[in-house]
Amino acid sequence: MKLPKIKITIMKRTLNKDLIDEFIVEEYKGMKACDKFENGQEFIIDPNLASIPEGFCDWAWADIRNDINLIASGGNILGMNKKGVAVTSCTDWFRPVYFKVERIG
């Protein structure tokens, strides 16, 4: 079965300064929002090739891969008001990035 292409959109890069202040040692407290992505950036992937898009964060890819596979295989996220769309994020608790994953064809 050929899987449809998927578009991944960077919705929002965030910074949890309160958690950084409480839990991060002084020398790392100057961290900024993730610099691997830009808000609005898009990646089109072919899940049949099973490869990480060029320039995509390995950690984020590992975190959102299951959602990509679910959407690509025809599944839907319970409670979402649009079929074929998932909102997901990486697990960097201090500077998470939120992604929209959607079937596009």
66-79 mean pLDDT: 94
Q: What pLDDT does residue 32 have?
A: 95
Closest of 31, 11, 10 to residue 19, by C-alpha: 31
Domain boundaries, the chain: 49-88
Residue with the bigger pLDDT between 50 and 43: it is 43
Q: How many angstroms separate the Cα of 91 from the Cα of each of 4, 10, 46, 51, 94?
A: 26, 15, 24, 20, 9
- Angle at alpha carbon of residue 52, lines to 62 and 1, rounded to 5°: 95
Q: What is the DSSP letter of 56?
A: -
- Structure confidence at residue 2 as a pLDDT band (50, 70, 90): confident
Closest of 96, 47, 93, 92 to residue 69, by C-alpha: 47
- Percentage of the chain lying above the pLDDT 70 cut: 100
Q: What pLDDT does residue 49 have?
A: 78
Q: What is the pLDDT of residues 28-37, one digit of tens each?
A: 999 999 999 9
56-73 mean pLDDT: 95
